[in-house]
């Protein structure tokens, strides 16, 4: 594979740095138009992109098509967010000589501005949505930041094709040259991350890789925000009521969720807590084999095999299914997990661990034992007191709490939250999916006593751009 040389990296980052001012200063409508131009160009080259992705990833064509749809939808959704201007979080405090702090309040007008050039470490499992023109690129560009993508080694040709389409789209807009760039190779990625002109980083991938990059970002002489999504166990808790009332439905959902995209999702459940001797447990044990597709590449396959082996080697773990072309099922008792929480780890592929609990008290104890998570799902009945407790426990540990639903599949919306306390992410206050992802790449600036004609137009008294604002702490009606 061709790797970007240090000289090339420096030139790409310098171009991004040079583009930062002009891109930040572009009209919001023009910035939005550039995002839409990227989406249009990707859509126009659908067949070429799907073919390239199929060659490099083993993902089924239908999945890839859904993913590309989602990717261009996402770009257009961020265009809409940019045009609306709400993300600027404009706040106006007119001068107030009677301000009860005891000192007159000067005129203060605040908005958000882009952080500067962002490096986006592309992921391997979603070659469109989490890669070159994926969520982190869309949200950073939307925020007004140039983006340098570090291509994922799993799909270099698709990355090259996507980057070319993005660049071609941008050339036809008023976007400055250099606002988008791409580098290949691990050393190149590290060089971008540690380059003084880079202001923030986004990453989706493994805990080990993400932590290593987080450490680099934090140890820079000028540390930068590192938004890492490092994966998650995504525990699912099934109450005894639900396990009896809906055994067949929950079992079917479990196999569908664990096998989706061959289990190569950061939201795949790695643990499903079920009552021992329950209808659900019998249903799961008796279910027909669920076939799964090939894994993304040899490295992923090797990693998956290793993680399943490591768990299977534990004497407290029983292997229920281990056919190589089907969902792997392991099983253990809750007390085994409670005695050794390190037993539980992410298995990136189509496998899950059934954790058998004896009673509601043990289920609650189990739920309380987990670290930070992207998702926690609860299957229960509305009347169920344990379910209520589990929801509260889940909200204290996860970014997304689901009821009678499986965590695989993340809708891109205004309210979505894809994040969570460490180790799910390195930045629990942020999301990497949904429109709120734009907030990661912004910082506030307040203008004090600046006359109207010298203010950015977003902050002027007449509000010429009609951007939503709060005045004196509340929204004008």
Q: Which of residues 14-43 bind a copy of itself (CB under 8 A)?
A: 21, 24
Nearest CB to a copy of itself, comparing residues 103 and 288:
103
Angle between helix 6-25 and 186-193 (nearest 10)? 50
Catalytic residue from among 56, 67, 145, 266:
266
Q: Which of residues 318-357 bind a copy of itself (CB under 8 A)?
A: none
How far is 232 from 137, CA to CA, in rounded Å? Answer: 22
Catalytic residue from among 229, 241, 283, 458:
229
Query: What are the distances in angstroms from CA 452 to CA 60, 93, 463, 464, 469?
Result: 56, 14, 10, 12, 16
Residue 371 φ/ψ, nearest 5 degrees: -80, -170
Applying CB under 8 A, which of residues 212, 299, 323, 395 lies at the interface with a copy of itself?
395
Q: Which stretch binds a copy of itself (CB under 8 A): 41-49, 150-158, 187-195, 393-401?
A: 393-401
How far is 95 from 12, CA to CA, in rounded Å? Answer: 44
**How many Cβ atoms are within 10 Å of 454's Cβ, its own excluded?**
8
Query: Would you call 266 a catalytic residue per the annotation?
Result: yes
Q: Which stretch binds a copy of itself (CB under 8 A): 101-109, 151-159, 177-185, 306-314?
A: 101-109
Longest dimension (CA), the chain: 75
Please, what is the minimum distance in Å from the beta carbon of residue 61 to a copy of itself?
14
Q: Which of residues 451-470 bind a copy of itself (CB under 8 A)?
A: 451, 453-454, 456, 468, 470
Count of residues that bind a copy of itself according to CB under 8 A = 93
Applying CB under 8 A, which of residues 308, 427, 438, 467 lies at the interface with a copy of itself?
427
Q: Does 450 help bind a copy of itself (rule: CB under 8 A)?
A: yes
Q: Does 411 help bind a copy of itself (rule: CB under 8 A)?
A: yes
Residue 18 corresponds to which tokens in the numbers above?
Answer: 């040079």
The DSSP secondary structure of 268-287, one letter per residue, reads --SEEEEETT-HHHHHHHHS
Please, what is the minimum distance in Å from the beta carbon of residue 116 to a copy of itself?
8
Three-state DSSP state, 355: strand
Residue 453 corresponds to which tokens in the numbers above?
Answer: 């004609």
Residue 454 corresponds to which tokens in the numbers above?
Answer: 């010298």
| Contact criterion met (CB below 8 Å) for 317 and 343 | yes
Q: Which of residues 214-243 bind a copy of itself (CB under 8 A)?
A: 214-215, 218-219, 222-225
Q: Does 267 help bind a copy of itself (rule: CB under 8 A)?
A: no
Applying CB under 8 A, which of residues 3, 40, 51, 86 lies at the interface with a copy of itself?
86
Q: Which stretch binds a copy of itself (CB under 8 A): 258-266, 273-281, 350-358, 437-445?
A: 437-445
Residue 108 φ/ψ, nearest 5 degrees: -130, 130
Nearest CB to a copy of itself, comparing residues 154 and 372:
372
Q: Does 303 help bind a copy of itself (rule: CB under 8 A)?
A: no
Q: Which of residues 105-134 bind a copy of itself (CB under 8 A)?
A: 105-106, 108-110, 113, 115
| Contact criterion met (CB below 8 Å) for 180 and 164 | no
Q: Does 98 help bind a copy of itself (rule: CB under 8 A)?
A: no
Query: What are the distances in angstroms from CA 291 to CA 265, 321, 427?
Result: 17, 12, 36
| Contact criterion met (CB below 8 Å) for 390 and 380 | yes
Please, what is the minimum distance in Å from the beta carbon of residue 467 to a copy of itself?
13
Please, what is the minimum distance in Å from the beta carbon of residue 50 to a copy of itself?
14
How far is 235 from 358, CA to CA, in rounded Å? Answer: 17
What positions carry a catalytic annotation? 229, 266
């Amino acid at each position: 594979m061709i790797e970007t040389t240090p000289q090339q990296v420096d030139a790409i980052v310098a171009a991004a740095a040079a583009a930062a001012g002009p891109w930040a200063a572009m009209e919001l409508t023009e910035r939005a138009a550039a995002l839409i131009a990227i989406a249009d160009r990707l859509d126009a080259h659908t067949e070429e992109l799907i073919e390239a992705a199929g060659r490099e990833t083993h993902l089924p064509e239908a999945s890839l098509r859904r993913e590309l749809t989602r990717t261009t939808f996402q770009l257009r959704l961020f265009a809409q967010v940019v045009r609306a201007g709400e993300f600027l979080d404009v706040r106006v405090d007119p001068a107030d000589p009677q301000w009860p702090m005891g000192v007159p309040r000067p005129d203060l007008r605040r908005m958000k501005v882009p952080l500067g050039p962002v490096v986006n470490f592309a992921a391997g499992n979603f070659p469109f949505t989490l890669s070159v023109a994926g969520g982190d690129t869309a949200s950073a560009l939307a925020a007004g930041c140039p983006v340098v993508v570090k291509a994922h080694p799993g799909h270099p040709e698709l990355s090259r094709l996507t980057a070319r389409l993005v660049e071609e789209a941008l050339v036809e807009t008023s976007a400055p040259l250099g606002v988008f760039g791409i580098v290949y190779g691990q050393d190149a990625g590290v060089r971008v991350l540690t380059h003084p002109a880079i202001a923030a980083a986004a990453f989706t991938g493994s805990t080990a890789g993400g932590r290593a990059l987080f450490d680099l970002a934090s140890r820079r002489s000028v540390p930068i925000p590192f938004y890492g999504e490092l994966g998650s166990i995504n525990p699912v808790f099934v109450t005894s009521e639900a396990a009896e009332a809906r055994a067949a439905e929950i079992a079917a959902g479990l196999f569908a969720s664990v096998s989706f995209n061959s289990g190569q999702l950061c939201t795949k459940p790695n643990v499903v807590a079920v009552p021992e001797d329950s209808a659900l447990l019998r249903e799961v044990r008796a279910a027909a084999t669920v076939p799964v597709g090939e894994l993304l590449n040899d490295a992923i396959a090797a990693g998956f095999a290793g993680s399943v082996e490591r768990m299977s080697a534990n004497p407290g773990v029983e292997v229920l299914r281990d056919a190589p072309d089907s969902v792997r099922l392991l099983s253990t008792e809750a007390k085994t997990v409670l005695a050794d929480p390190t037993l539980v780890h992410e298995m990136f592929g189509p496998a899950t661990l059934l954790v058998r609990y004896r009673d509601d008290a043990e289920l609650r104890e189990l739920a309380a034992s987990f670290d930070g998570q992207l998702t926690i799902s609860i299957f229960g009945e509305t009347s169920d007191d344990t379910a209520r407790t589990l929801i509260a426990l889940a909200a204290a540990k996860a970014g997304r709490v689901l009821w009678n639903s499986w965590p695989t599949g993340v809708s891109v919306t205004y309210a979505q939250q894809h994040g969570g306390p460490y180790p799910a992410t390195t930045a629990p206050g942020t999301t990497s999916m949904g429109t709120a992802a734009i907030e990661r790449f912004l910082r506030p600036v307040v203008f004090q006593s600046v006359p109207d004609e010298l203010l950015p137009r977003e902050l002027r008294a007449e509000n010429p751009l009609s951007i939503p604002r709060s005045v004196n702490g509340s929204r004008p009606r």
